[in-house]
Structure 1
Amino acid sequence: MVTLRAMGERAVLVEVADLSAVVRLHAALAADPLDGVDDLVPAACTVLVAFDPLRTSPTAIAAWVRAAATADPDAAAPGPLVEIATRYDGADLDDTAGLLGIRADELIARHRAAEWTVAFTGFAPGFAYLVSSDWPFDVPRLDRPRLRVPAGAVGLAGAFSGTYPRDTPGGWRLIGSTDAVLFDPAAADPVLVPPRSRVRFVPLRERARVAGPREPDDTTSTSGRPDAAASPPPAGSSSRVARSSNAGAAPGPALRIVATGPLVTVQDLGRPGRAALGVARSGALDRGALRIANRLLGNDESAAALEITLGGFSARAERDCWIAVTGALADVRVDGRGVPAYAPVRLAAGAELTIDPAHAGLRLILAVRGGVVAEPVLGSRSTDVLARLGPPPLRAGDLVQGGTTTGEVPAVDGFPWSVPPAALEVRLRPGPRADWFTPAAVEALTDASWTVSTDIDRIGIRLDGPILERTRHDELPSEGMRPGALQVPPHGRPVILLADGPVTGGYPVIGVIPDAALDALAQVRPGDRVRFRRA
């Protein structure tokens, strides 16, 4: 029995009975791919199916899902077996065993003996929620989560086991640790244990291996990458866009950062299609502004540029170069002289570019001819501030390098654009969990005028307004999320997820903003007003 719930115009949330049904359905869908499906995100009781509406339809998705739900559960091949070398030295080992009424050595033996399956990923890139029919325990989480759980920690929570791919806060009970590299963004297969993988925890003295289901003797190192366990990489790219030295820099125009304002990151069109691995789409929040800035300079529209929050930015041209500024309304000056936005502007070597604090809107795009050069991570140069992927935010002194160019800068007399409004009207579709709310709450979504709060970043926007009352107060099992999802946390006020938002979440989604409307939301600032109208 499956229930299909629309998650906007580009995704469907497929609800099934329990986690074992999720594992079976995800395996069946993965074994019989459908053209137009971009991502499958399994979670506790759901599978999120993200698709391209230009290549398939909700009707085709529904037929495909229902066929998979009735498929032979034994038809899908088992996932690869990954053995993770583990030392049982966790800070909570003895206390956890005591809570379960067993000795620590028995807890270790049962954890090792179980064959675990990756039901879904989430929380952080590469973090796998492992389940096993051999595991009989339900382990309570810590009353007070730790502010820092070290990378490699092996933990238990509820019916799950899991291993932390990087340092992060967490409330799981820690029973061990491993040196295995669980997430390597530079690798061809960045996640060691993707959904449907089988996992065994083995003593550290044994050489762990990754074996395909039909070739159990085919072994590699712990992570499937030579020497990975001995030298784990950071969670994201640790190199800056370019340091002060020009050594190894690609030829092309360059800017030296003088001042950044609140936040400056490198963004392109992001890394879609990786949510099943726990990796968000990321990318420029105002994708239209990015595309226009690149077109003005003759770049590919997906080229990387700088996303500048609020303004207060300045940089010096190291060489002659062309730039374009789009997005929010701000005064743009070169050596103190005003220059137009939404137009190509030539900077001579030594000239200083200044972007004043924005008068309207929140985010500006600064593109350079040839695109910003940065090391790609999982196919994108974008900075993901939540997952810490891509180049870190820029700071004063950093050198921004432009790529090589061909052809001429397009001749543009002017480009039509409008000032981001302080009162925005946005289309809204019903969310998959709208039935968790009272009819009055659903009506309030479109009746009320919402105020953008100070809680706003690349992850999401909290709106202030009437409290949205729920009819159900039980905990929602974690399920797939999308940019544009309107989650409602326990405080009752909606939060709009943006491009760096989590790929799974446990708050009910009352509405979904269509993808095309998200660019406008990139420009709202604290105090602005937002009204929703039914799509």
Structure 2
Amino acid sequence: MVIRPMGERAFLVEVGSLDAVLALHARLEASRPEGIVDLVPAARTVLVRVDPRVLPLAAAQAWALSAPEQDARREPGPLVEVDVAYDGPDLSDTAALLGVGADELVRRHQAAEWTVAFTGFAPGFGYLVSPDWPYDVPRLAQPRTRVPAGAVGLAAGFSGAYPRETPGGWRLIGTTSAMVFDPDAAAPALLAPGTRVRFRAGSEGLDSRRPALSQSERVDVPLDDRGSGSVPAGETERGIRIVEPGLLATLQDLGRPGAAALGVAVAGAFDRRALRTANRLLGNPEDAAAIEVTLGGLRALAAEDTWFAVTGAWGRIVLDGRVVDPYEAHLWPAGAELHLDWFAQGARAYLAVRGGFTGRTVLGSLSTDLLAGIGPAALSAGATVPIGGPAIDPIPVTPVAPWGAPADDLELDLAPGPRADWFAASALSTLFESTWTVGAADRVGVRLDGPALERSNAGELPSEGMVAGAIQVPPDGRPVILCVDGPVTGGYPVIAVVTDAALDLLAQARPGARIRFRHARPSG
């Protein structure tokens, strides 16, 4: 086993084969101490994510290396039978590519008993393996921009079913209407790691009550959508009415830690420090849900007198025609309009209200995950966002922390990544000595414009666990920083990882902002 660093709060344990990964993952799960947030198996590694407030990283690494062996005769996982209509567009071509007939390929697919080795790519997307499956199936040379929910595919030695509409490069041999991922279920992933799977021919899936989630569907918080305009006279509900959402407005709390093994990212507020500060200003718990507003433009009306605070990005805040300050608690009178103008500095502001916003949670969180498509949809004009119960603390008399406008140019601390040895000796120097420009940026990832980082290993990296802040380098050498809604597994090498504290700074980076990196100081 080899320990590879993944920032200052996680590491990879690398072994020699998928079988060794499954055995290691079983050992770690069986002896898991408090402070281990996530264990994410992949093709050759297990990602271990740690809460350093509970368990020091060095202690977690020592535990991983010394986890006791488990009985090789482990109890098999539960068996799930999935009905498949073998009508995929790639069935005949894939069979011909493998030198067999389509009927023989289907027969082999059904005869094999599959096991979910790990999940990733999307919530509930299980990578299934079988000792009875003899084929190594090449991915499509040109991935599809749209693979429908329920598609059953093959790639390398794996089979799998897409839980939702998404791009993908697997060869599609059939479809199922099975509910592959249901965030409201006690066990959200039908194909969780360790589950045994049998495919059988049929025109209907295992659960035909409704199809798997498509890209356009969300597990929505029950918001009121009776239309925009002023709050009706005599309105008694606790909430605010969205008049205009601006460029993007979503509900966010501190996310869904601990669900990465199901393919679910933490998500939550991108600038967690700003969210916590807004809640402290109002006497709320730090993890209460607020509205994350991207680049500004939001207008909203209060249904009743409400206290609010705005933190994070910098722009004019206009309440009922008068400008008010950020980082302060203000009374928002019933029927008054609050306008967060377009931001002059920073990218994301947080509108919190006393009592916090509320609604139906998904896997314990109210957060919107844009990549996975779980949680409430982005807020739209006419929706009313409910407010929760009383706050737990009084509103502070004085501001809880000094504040100021987010900087235009950023210096971000980097901790070591697991695949620095995949790069030429000059790559790290280039990374730290260059000034990078923010290109395309959202909650999934931030693309950096600058010099290419030269790789010394041009091979294909087996998928492995990822964390927010990981700097992946695709073949063109241009780095991409994975963010809070990023995928939980990935196949591009990670050269370094933005520290947890620096992620809050990255949340305020606008396109065109300049970034320089520096080495993080060793913790402890």
Relative distance call for 1:407 and 1:32 in structure 2 (3 A) is: closer
Question: Percent same amino acid among aligned pairs?
Answer: 57
Letter in 2 for 1:7: M
More moved, 50-59 vs 357-366: 50-59
Aligned with 2:174 (options 173, 176, 182): 176
Cα deviations by residue, 1:73-129 (Å, 9 ceiling, x for unpaired)? 615332222221222222222222111111222111111111111111111100111
Query: CA RMSD, aligned part only?
Result: 2.1
1:230 to 209, 220, 227: 209
* Aligned residue type for 1:111: H
Unaligned runs of 5+ in 1: 209-221, 223-227
Deviates more, 1:474-483 or 1:149-158: 149-158
Matched, 1:259 2:258: no
TM-score (norm 1): 0.91
1:48 aligns with 2:47: yes
Specify the code of the residue in structure 1 equivalent to 2:425.
P
For the residues of structure 2 that align with 1:323 and 1:120, how far apart are their CA atoms?
43
1:145-190 deviation per Cα after TM superposition (whole angstroms, max 9, x unaligned): 2222222111111111111111222221111222211100011110
| TM-superposed deviation, 1:252 | 5.4
Number of the residue aligned with 1:280: 265
Alpha-carbon contact 1:240-1:392 (below 8 Å) kept: no
2:385 to 373, 387, 400: 400
Cross-structure match for 2:93: 95
Task: Report the alpha carbon displacement of residue 301 of structure 1 after superposing the two structures with TM.
Answer: 1.2
The worse-fitting range, judged by mean Cα deviation, of 397-406 and 350-359 is 397-406
Counterpart pick for 1:150 among 137, 148, 151: 148
- 1:263 is matched by which residue type in structure 2? L
Range that drifts further, 25-34 or 150-159: 25-34
Q: How does 1:196-207 map to 2 (within 5 A)?
A: 196-204=194-202
Please state how far the C-alpha of 1:325 moved relative to its aligned partner.
0.5
AA aligned to 2:79 is L
Q: Give the match for residue 30 of structure 2.
A: 31
Q: How many matched pairs?
A: 511
Q: Matches of 1:256 and 1:466 in 2, distance apart?
A: 46
Q: State the AA in 2 paired with 1:191.
A: A
- CA displacement at 1:514 relative to structure 2: 1.4
Change (3 A) 1:411 1:25: closer
Who is 2:357 aligned against?
A: 372
**Map of 1:188 onto structure 2:** 186
- The aligned runs of 1:117-516 (5 Å cut-off) are 117-204=115-202, 222=206, 228-232=207-211, 234=213, 236-239=218-221, 241-244=223-226, 253-405=238-390, 409-415=394-400, 416-453=402-439, 455-516=440-501
* Partner Cα separation in structure 1 for residue 392 and residue 497 of structure 2: 42
- Mapped to 1, the partners of 2:328 and 2:391 lie a distance apart of 19
Q: Kindly indicate whether the alpha-carbon contact (under 8 Å) linking 1:286 and 1:520 is maintained by their aligned counterparts in 2.
A: yes
The CA deviation string for residues 400-447 of structure 1, in whole angstroms up to 9 with x for no partner, is 221122577514344521211111111111211011111211111111
**How far apart are residue 258 of structure 1 and its match?**
1.5
Give the secondary-structure state (helix, strand or coil) at the position aligned to 2:108: helix
CA shift in 2, pair 1:146/1:381, >3 Å: same
| Structure 2 segments unaligned to the other structure (5+ residues) | none
**Distance change in 2, residues 1:251/1:106 (3 Å):** farther
SS in 2 for 1:125: coil
Question: How many angstroms apart in 2 are the aligned matches of 1:205 and 1:148?
Answer: 22
Q: Give the secondary structure class of the aligned counterpart of 1:124.
A: coil
Change over 3 Å in CA distance of 1:233–1:372 after alignment to 2: farther
Q: Tell whether the 8 Å contact from 2:180 to 2:212 is kept in structure 1 after alignment.
A: no
Judged with a 3 Å threshold, the aligned counterparts in structure 2 of structure 1 residues 409 and 353 are, in CA distance, closer, same or farther, namely farther
Task: Give the letter aligned to residue 224 of structure 2.
Answer: A
User: Who is 1:219 aligned against?
Assistant: none
Q: In structure 1, the residue corresponding to 2:123 is in which secondary structure?
A: strand
TM-score computed with the length of structure 2 as normaliser: 0.93
Bigger shift: 82-91 or 40-49?
A: 82-91
Once the 2 structures are TM-superposed, how far is the Cα of residue 51 of structure 1 from its aligned partner? 1.2
Distance 1:400 1:205 in 2: 41
Instruction: Output aligned runs, 1:47-66, within 5 Å.
Output: 47-66=46-65
What amino acid sits opposite 2:405 in the alignment? Answer: V
Maintained 8 Å contact 1:344/1:412: no
Q: Which amino acid aligns with 2:63?
A: W
CA offsets, 1:338-358, max 9 Å, x none? 111111111111211111111
Match of 1:525 in 2: 510
| Misfit runs of 4+, over 4 Å | 406-409
